Structures are given as structure tokens and as C-alpha cells.
Structure 1
Amino acid sequence: MSNKHFVNDPVRLLNSALSSVPLANPSLALDAENKIVYCKPSPESHVGRVAIISGGGAGHEPSFVSFVGDGVLRAAVSGSIFASPSVKQIYSCITRRVNPNSGVLLIVMNYTGDVLHFGLASEKAKAAGVDVDMVVVADDVGVGREKNGKVGRRGIAGTVLVHKIVGALAAARTEACSLKEASALASLVAANLVSVGSSLAHVHVPGRAVTSDEDDEGSLKPDEIEIGMGIHNEQGYKRMKIPKLPELVEILLGQLLSKEDKDRNYLEDVDKIEGWVLMLNNLGGVSPLEMGAITAEVVKQLNSTYSIQPKRIFSGAFMTSLNGNGFSISLLRLVDTGLGEGKSMLDLLDAPHESLGWSAPVKQETWANGDRQTQSSESDAKEEPIPPSGLKLNVSQFSHTLSSALKALIKAEPELSRYDEIVGDGDCGSALKNGAEAIIQLISANGISPDAVITVSTLAEVVEANMDGTSGALYSIFLNSLAKALREAGAGEASLGVWAKAAMTALVSLRKYTPAQPGDRTLVDALQPCIISLVEGGDVRKAARAAREGAESTRGMKASLGRSVYVGEVGDTPDPGAVGIAVLMEGLAEAV
């Protein structure tokens, strides 16, 4: 693992990298505040056509922002490194950066934070009258059915093939497709797509301290390779001594294509196959020389072992893991799209485009006609004020109690980060700290309203804007649902009983977006018993104890949801999200 970088500030690094994309492609613009790269409005290209949007954490470049361009994506939203973008960013992209259109299709990789954030943004957009659909791509076979549990397969590099094919259909000049057709094609491509990766080392995130735990436990030994590693440093199927390349390719192709491996045989039988497409993806740190050798070996074994001669072969960096010293193989089975002549999967792959991330260069006339403006000059439209509810709270008491809880959460950040570095991707503590600090700033600026619904809705907006990752999505959904439940409580004083009942309603709403139950090793293990205790007993201290007991119960528990599913034995480490709930409740209990 290399921990040496030219830019060690992750925020500055991401902002600078995003600003480079429209410099290299004059047809694009950057909404820097929301980290959105989007196509400049062009009536000839965009009016009356479905807008394809994707996005995810940074660190996977050229995915996703460099696949924006006529013929692929209309826009892409970037989160922080390895963290999904916020609901606010995605909602702004849907409603402000891809109009006019005849519908919006979100293509999302199957990671919990991405699915939650994009899902919530799509629901908000639908409520605002936008025609939106979402397709989740899950192409990774590295972790089989038994281990991936309720989460399902991860989405990895094969997703860019979905982007290219569906993007070409949406951009076709001869006949505009409908949102239903674009969504159906995306689902069809995803269903015929399998990918698997391997890596010689984990990667180091710029600006993140190198700990002894990361060195000793997180890193691979010098003579080891990880089979099936994810694109966020997640563990894969197994570790083994580094084999020779032919043996490694044999293992990976077996996971992709062997019908004997029932745990990974995801390609269902179809009546007619029109051929195959092969994509070799560099995770960022493999030399082009080695990628050439890998490509040759894969093509050789596909032919000799499986009688497959790919009709298209793409080799390069399509979806990286920073400077990961590894690669992935994606195979797309070509089947009939049912869309007629000129719209086969292969036709759409070959269709012209203007994106930096695919293989062909930007057209000469685009350079000649493009101006040098790359930043958006539009000011964000002011949001409508939140209607008052008549449900009152004591601002001074509420601010004091909430500040106590938030300070406890900030103090616990190192502990939460340490837990998450063992069982996840290490961002849980920092995400909670960022959200807590932003709310404390709101309190200091006298941003707490005496109207309980306005206050909770404002807190939800702060969380959406400042908390990355899965924690941000879950807290945001909960707070939005809590505000709705409080509004339904009617006018009067916001008593503890009112808060408790509304919290239970919000917990039920949260289940629309996550199947997590106690026992799945998530924050729900602490949140649900805490709310039940509050409803039944009306005692904040007892509720805090219930939350702590729930968090402690996750020690040694096998994960069924979240990135912990892909991690091996975690020993006595509790779920960091559950511990965060416990810390928050204990801070509240101290102040009441």
C-alpha cells in the first residue's frame, strides 16, 4: 500500500479534480457547490429526451464524472472519497441540472449509501412532479449469495457498460426513447452482466492517517492476493498466495462463468445469445504493460475453455479504487434488446459519444464551438419556506439538550472511526462528527425555531448537506419522517410523549428504505430498542440504556446488511452506527 500522494487534503483534491473535467470537455459544466458535472443545455441534443444520471463516491475516476457527455450520462454527482453523495446534491442534479427532459433515469451501484441517497432524492423529485426511475446495478460475483445476504451483490466496474448502452439509447437522434424503455434496457443489461476483481494490495485514502491496525490487519501480506475485493477496500472471497497469472485468470473466469458454482452462477439461461463483450478494468495502479498481458491471457482462456470470442474488448481504467494495484473482469452477454434495428447492445456500445471516460475522443467541432466557461453561473433557487405546524418547543431547553448529545458524539469520533476501519470503510465517525458540528453551528446561529416541525425539518436539511455515507442517508430519512409525524401530531406543546410516538412512526418509515432489523448488525440494533423503551416508559435515561445494550449486542454479531457483510471475522468490535446511537442518547440523557 502506498500512502504517498501529491495532494494530501481530500477536500482540496476532490474539488480540483472535479474542476478539471469541464476543462478537458467544453460541452460540460460544473456545479461546484453540489459536486455535479453536467452537460451544458443544448436543445438539439437534450430536449424531450430521457436524462441519464449516475454518481457515487469519489476515488473511482473516471467513474462517474468523466462518463458525462452526449451519448453517455447527462450528469453525474460525486460524493467525498468512497462516500455516496448527499440527497441534496442528487435532488439538485435531478431538478436543476438535466432539464428539459422527458424523464430521468438514475443508474446506481448496489451500495447501501448510494441506494438510500439516490432513492430518497428520487422520491422527493417524484413528489415535486418529476418523472423519475432508478435501476440498481449489482454485477459483482466475488462474494456469493450465501455471504452477501440481504444486501445482494455489489455494483462494480461493469456498471459503465450500462451507462454507455443506455446513454446511447437516450441520445439517439432518430427516435426518442421513453423512460420506461430506458429503464427496461438498463435492467436487461444489468441482468446479463457479471464482474469480479482481484488486488495485490489495499489502497490508502489521501489525508487519512496510517494506523498500526491498518498496517497489520488491513493490509495484505507481501505474498498474498485478495480474490473478489470490492472497490472500497472491502474484503472479497478469499486471500491466497499470489498465483501465476494463468492460474489467477482461471479462478476469476470460473467465478464468472462456471455453472457448477451455484453460489455465483448469476447468469440465467436465455434462448439466444448474440455474443459477448469483455471489459478489463484497471483499479488504478496496474501499469498499461501488465494490463496488456492480463487482457491477452483472459481472451486466450475465454476462447480455449469457454469457446467465447468477445465481439468487443475494452481494456483500461473505467472504475478505479484510487491507485489500487488490481484489476477486474466484466463480461456482458449480448441478448436481444427488442428495440429494433440499429439498437442492439452492440450498436449502442459503438454509438458516437463525447465523454472523457470512454474510448473515443471528443469531436473537433465541440472544441471549436465550446467557450471557456466551466463553472455554473446560476445561483441556486431558494427553497420554499417550511410551513409552520403549531407544535411548540422550548428553544433554550431543546438547544441545551441537543448540544449535549452532539458534543458527546463529536468526542466519540475516534472510537467510532476505529470501529468502522475494522468493519467498514472508516467514515462513520467522521460523518457523524461532521453532522454534529454543523448542527452545533446552526444552534449557535440561533437557527432553532420554536416550531418543532420547522426545527426538525431544518436539522434534516443540515444532515443532508453535511453527512456523507450510509449514516447520513439513514439519519436524514429518519429526521424527514420525524418531521412529518410531528406535523400530524397537531398543535400544542411538544411533550416527550409526542416525540416518542413520532419517533416510532419515523422508525416505521425508515423500513421502506432499509430492511434492517435488530440482529442484522446495524444502527437499528440500538435505535429500535431505544424508541420502544421511550414509548413504553417515557424515560430518556432508560431509553439510553436500551440503546447501549442494543449496541453492545452487536459485538460478535454476523452482519446481514451494509459493508460489514463483505468483511470477515470482526471479533469483539461492535457496529459503529449502533454505538453512535447509544452515544447520542447518553448525551441526551445527561442533559435532561
Structure 2
Amino acid sequence: MSAKHFINDPTHLVTSALHSLTITNPSLAFDPANKIIYRRPEPQTSTPARVSVVSGGGAGHEPSFAAMVGRGMLSAAVSGTIFASPSSEQIRAGVQSRVDTTAGVLVTVMNYTGDVLNFGVAVEKARAAGVDVEMVVVGDDVGVGREKAGKVGRRGIAGTVLVHKISGALAARGASLADVAKVARLTAANLVSVGASLEHVHVPGRAAPDAASDEVLKVGEVELGMGIHNEPGSGRAKVELPEMVKRMLAQLLDQEDKDRAFVKVDSNEVVLMINNLGGVSVLELAGITAEVAGQLEKTYGIRPVRVISGTFMTSLNGLGFSITLLNVVNTDIGGPGMIELLDDPAEVTGWSAPISKETWEAKNTAERTGDAETSGSAEASGLTWDAGVATAALTEGLRRVIAAEPEITKYDTIVGDGDCGTGLKRGAEAVLKQISQTPLTQDPAVSLASIIPVVEMTMDGTSGALFSIFLNALLHSLRSLPSGPMTPKSWGTALARSVEALGKYTPARPGDRTLVDALAPFVDGLVEGGDLAEAARKARAGAEGTKGMLPGLGRSVYVGGEGYTKVPDPGAWGLAVFFEGLAGKE
């Protein structure tokens, strides 16, 4: 694993990389505040509006997604920090303000908890604002089977690029949103992918792992089924390329393996894509492509109608590759088929398509500016509370979260990717700054409305998405309560409705080892007894109970090992700490 980089500041790295796309493709513009790459608006013509296709995810997977923005593919891409989902507010800005919404918007997202939640929040907000939007979640990885993946389902990896290409081409042809979404889902349902790597990757700005740790593969070892965030797959082995490819193809195609037989690849037309995870040389990738194609024909009698080999979705400089098979089926829309759409031109730098002479010479400098407004946030609700008492309680809760960051980070380093503590601290510090500059009012709904954007803009990843959904739902719940002073009971009622709303976007329930294990007992405690201190005690007990609990959701599912038996869930612990501060418990 190489820990050497030319740019060691991850924030500068992501921003400069996104900016570079406007240099290499003059049809693109960059919104740095929201880390969005989008197509510049073209001069008004009589051509009917086209469906916009928006995607995105954590940085580190380039050229996905930003370098696939352009005519014939994506309309915009929203980037998070390295390996972390963009926030729901970034995505909302992209969907509502950086693309043409006239003909509707298709949002495609890979199946990772933080991405699904954050994109889900943005989609719901866009719908509420009157935008016709559909969301398609892509899960194509077979490296983790049904039993281990559980509720999480298949991870999204390189096959997602084919969904983007096919749906983008169909949108460019003028198809309706319903048809574009239908074909995107059909493509996703007929994809299988699996990866392998000789090394984990190092994220710029992070400390290098101990050479003796499990993060470092031994010489000659390969991680089969490795995900695009360093997650393990089906296991490690010491095998040469032919045997490695044999095992990978078996995971993709063996119908006897019921744990992984997600798609029966039996079409007369099959597309093969070999994807470089970032660190394989062009020469070696060509050798890998030949090995895969040879085994496909010899062992399975499959001669792909299209073979696409290159760098499409990376894991930074990952020394590995992935194999994707698309089972081509009839689109049933009375128009072009999947192969025709795959062959259509795409003016993007990430799909080996040259930028046309006409685009360069047009020297288009138009930009989209402004933002769609969120209505009703400042409206009085008729509810009241003691703003001074609320400020003191909230301040204490946030300060305790900040103080607990090292402890939470330690836990998340063992069972996650190490960013939970810093994410919670970043959000807590931002809210503290907000309430010091804009004091809470006597109306709890108006006060909450001023805090929500701060949380959405400063907290990314899974926790940020969960908090955003929950707080937006809480605001809606508060506005539905009868006017009058807030009581612990009325807070319990509003919070219970918010938990119910959260359940629509995540299958997480008590017992899945997530922050819900602290949140649910806290809300139940308020509903049952109306006592804040007792509710905080129940939240702490719930968080402590996650120690030794087998993870049912989140990245802990893929981490493996015995870490979950040693520490509680980091998110649940951080939330319990906050509730104790809120209640003034020592």
C-alpha cells in the first residue's frame, strides 16, 4: 500500500480535481460550494426539453461520477469527500438548481447506506417542491452474498457506469422520464459485478496503517470481492490470475451458488466490462481482459457482443480490477435497445468519447446561478418553549459530543471507517456556532428550521443523512402539533412520528447495531413517561447494548472481524452522549 501522494490535502484534492473537468471539457461548469459538476445551459432552441440524469457519491472513484457529465450521459454529478456520501443539501441543490427540471429528473445512486439516505432526502425535497423525479438504486456486486449482506443488499460498483451510459443515451434521444427510469432499472436488474485487489488503498491525509495489521495484504495475497472503499468481500487467497478469474466468473455465473445467483446471464447478447480500480497498468489490464474473455468463451460459451475495458470506477489508486456482465434484455419501450444506447455518442471525458470541435469553438460561458428556495421554514408554528432553557440544554449536549469525539473515533476505527466521531464533532461545532450567532427563538419549530441547514451542510456520510431525515421529519411533526407550550409528552409525540418517517428510508431497527439503538429507546422513554433524564438513561442502555451485537446494517457489516464484540456502535454512543448532556445527566 502506497501512502505517498502528490496532493496530501484531501479537501484541496477533491476541489481541484472537480475544477479540472471544466478545463478539459468546456461544456461543463463547477459549483464549488456544493461540489457539483453540471452541464452548462445551452442557447434556447425549439428542441423539446430532455430528462436530466443526476448521480454522484463519494470522491475517490473517478472518473465516476463527475467525468461522466456531458451530452449523452449525466446532466450533473454531486461529489462528497473521499469515500463519503455528499450531503442531502448538496444533492438537492444539484437536482433542483443545476439541471433542467422541465422534463423531469432521474437520480441514480449506488447502494451504500449514506448515499441512499442522502439522495433519498434530496429526492423527497425535490418532489415536495414540484419536481418530477425518479430514483434508481444500483446494486451489482456479488462479492458479498445474500446471507452476509442481509438487509443491506448488493453493493453498487462499476456496473453502475453502464446504467449511466444507457439511461443517459435514452434521455438524450428525448424519451420520457418513465421510460428512462424503466430502462435504468432494467439495466441495473441485469448487472453482475465482482472485484479483486492485491492491496488496500490509502486515503490522502490519513495515517498509514500498521504493516502488521489486517489492512495490509501479504505478498501474493488477493482480496476477492473487495469493494470500492477497501471493504472485504468473500475472502483472501494466494492464487495466480487464471485461477483468480475462474473464481470471479464462478461468483458471477454459477447458478448453483444460491447465495450469489442474482442474475441468470442467459441472453444471446452479453456485454463485458473490465474496470481498472486505479492502479493497474494499461498493459496489465489488457492481459486481464484477454484472460477474462478467453475463460468466458471456453468455460461458459459466452462471446460478448461488446467488450469495454478501461478505467471507469476506481478506488483511488487501487491495485485491482472488476468484471461486470450485462445480460442484455428487451427494453419494451418501442425504441432503441440497450446495445444501441450503449453505442450512442457521449461527450464526456470518462467514457472514451472525444469532445467535438463544435463544442470547443462554441466557447459557451453560460452558467446556472441562484438556488431553489425552501419554503415555509421561517413560518411561526404557534408552539412555544423557554428558549433560554433550550439553549442551555442544547449547548451542553453538543459540548459533550465534541468532548467525546476521540472515544467515538476510536470505536469507529475498530468497526467502521473512522469518520463518525469527526462527523459528529463537525456538526456539533457548527450548530453551537449557529445558535451563538442566531439565538433560538421562543418558537421551537422556527428554531429547528434554522438549525437543519447547518446540519445538512456540515455532516455528510450515513450519520449526516439519518440526522437530516430525522430533523426534517421532526420539523414537519412539530408543525402538525396543536398550538401551545411544548411538554416532554408533546416532544415524545413529535419525535415518535419522526422515527416513523426515518423508517421509510432505512431498514435500521433496534437490534441492527446503529444509532437507532439509542434513538428508539430515548423516544420511547419520552412517550411513556415524559421524563427527559429517564429517556437519556434508556438511550445510554441502548447504546451499551450494541456492544457484542452482530451488525445488521452499515459499513460494519462488511468490516468483519470481532471488533463488534469489543466496542459499542459509534453512532449510537455519540447520540447517547448528546441525550445525556441534553438531560443534564453526569
> What TM-score, normalized to structure 2?
0.96
1:209 Cα offset (Å): 2.5
Matched, 1:231 2:224: no
Alpha-carbon distance change, 44 to 251 in structure 1, aligned in 2, over 3 angstroms: farther
Among residues 199, 202, 206, which one is paired with 1:201 in the alignment?
Answer: 199
Conservation of the 8 A alpha-carbon contact between 1:400 and 1:591: no
Output one character per residue of 1:511-555: Cα deviation in whole Å (capped at 9) or x when no partner: 111111111111111111121122222222222221121112111
Tell me which residue corresponds to 1:364: 357
Alpha-carbon distance change, 347 to 576 in structure 1, aligned in 2, over 3 angstroms: same
Structure 1 unaligned residues grouped into runs of 5+: none
Distance 2:220 2:476 in 1: 55
Matched, 1:117 2:108: no
1:381 Cα offset (Å): 5.3
1:365-380 pair list within 5 angstroms: 365-371=358-364, 373=365, 376=367, 378-380=369-371
Distance 2:60 2:439 in 1: 35
Distance 1:275 1:222 in 2: 39
Matched, 1:218 2:215: yes
1:47 Cα offset (Å): 4.3
Tell me which residue corresponds to 1:395: 387
Q: Secondary structure at the match of 2:8?
A: coil
Mean Cα displacement is larger for which, 154-163 or 87-96? 87-96
Distance 1:366 1:71 in 2: 14
Alpha-carbon distance change, 478 to 264 in structure 1, aligned in 2, over 3 angstroms: same
Output one character per residue of 1:6-27: Cα deviation in whole Å (capped at 9) or x when no partner: 1111111111111111111011
Q: Secondary structure at the match of 2:350?
A: coil
Among residues 177, 182, 185, which one is paired with 1:184 in the alignment?
Answer: 182
Distance 1:230 1:416 in 2: 24
Among residues 553, 568, 584, which one is paired with 2:560 in the alignment?
Answer: 568
1:414-429 pair list within 5 angstroms: 414-429=406-421
Tell me which residue corresponds to 2:41: 41
Matched, 1:506 2:498: yes
Output one character per residue of 1:161-192: Cα deviation in whole Å (capped at 9) or x when no partner: 000011001001xxx21111011100111111
Distance 1:219 1:45 in 2: 57
Q: Secondary structure at the match of 1:521?
A: coil
Distance 2:243 2:582 in 1: 57
Q: Secondary structure at the match of 2:162?
A: helix
Matched, 1:247 2:243: yes
Tell me which residue corresponds to 2:83: 82
Q: Secondary structure at the match of 2:351?
A: coil
Tell me which residue corresponds to 1:559: 551
Tell me which residue corresponds to 1:67: 68
Tell me which residue corresponds to 2:584: 590
Distance 1:106 1:381 in 2: 18
Tell me which residue corresponds to 1:322: 316
Distance 1:414 1:292 in 2: 45
Structure 2 unaligned residues grouped into runs of 5+: none
Aligned residues: 582
Distance 2:580 2:215 in 1: 31
Alpha-carbon distance change, 525 to 251 in structure 1, aligned in 2, over 3 angstroms: same
Among residues 547, 566, 587, which one is paired with 2:539 in the alignment?
Answer: 547
Output one character per residue of 1:64-93: Cα deviation in whole Å (capped at 9) or x when no partner: 000000000111111111111111111111
1:483 Cα offset (Å): 1.3
Conservation of the 8 A alpha-carbon contact between 2:196 and 2:321: yes
Tell me which residue corresponds to 1:344: 337
1:46 Cα offset (Å): 7.5
1:500 Cα offset (Å): 2.0
Alpha-carbon distance change, 236 to 256 in structure 1, aligned in 2, over 3 angstroms: same
Conservation of the 8 A alpha-carbon contact between 1:481 and 1:509: yes
Q: Which amino acid aligns with 1:419?
A: Y
Conservation of the 8 A alpha-carbon contact between 2:93 and 2:372: no
Matched, 1:19 2:48: no
Among residues 284, 287, 298, which one is paired with 2:292 in the alignment?
Answer: 298
Matched, 1:134 2:128: no
Distance 1:433 1:22 in 2: 34
1:423-502 pair list within 5 angstroms: 423-502=415-494
Alpha-carbon distance change, 295 to 45 in structure 1, aligned in 2, over 3 angstroms: farther
1:215 Cα offset (Å): 5.8
Q: Which amino acid aligns with 2:348?
A: S
Q: Secondary structure at the match of 1:544?
A: helix
Among residues 249, 253, 261, which one is paired with 1:265 in the alignment?
Answer: 261
> What TM-score, normalized to structure 1?
0.95
1:338 Cα offset (Å): 2.1
Distance 2:468 2:101 in 1: 28
Output one character per residue of 1:433-491: Cα deviation in whole Å (capped at 9) or x when no partner: 11111101101202422210011122222111110001011111111111111122222
Instruction: Compute the RMSD of aligned alpha carbons.
Output: 1.8
Conservation of the 8 A alpha-carbon contact between 2:329 and 2:338: yes
Distance 1:469 1:128 in 2: 24
Distance 1:582 1:166 in 2: 43
Conservation of the 8 A alpha-carbon contact between 1:46 and 1:101: no
Distance 1:20 1:381 in 2: 26
Mean Cα displacement is larger for which, 123-132 or 95-104? 95-104
Conservation of the 8 A alpha-carbon contact between 1:166 and 1:185: yes
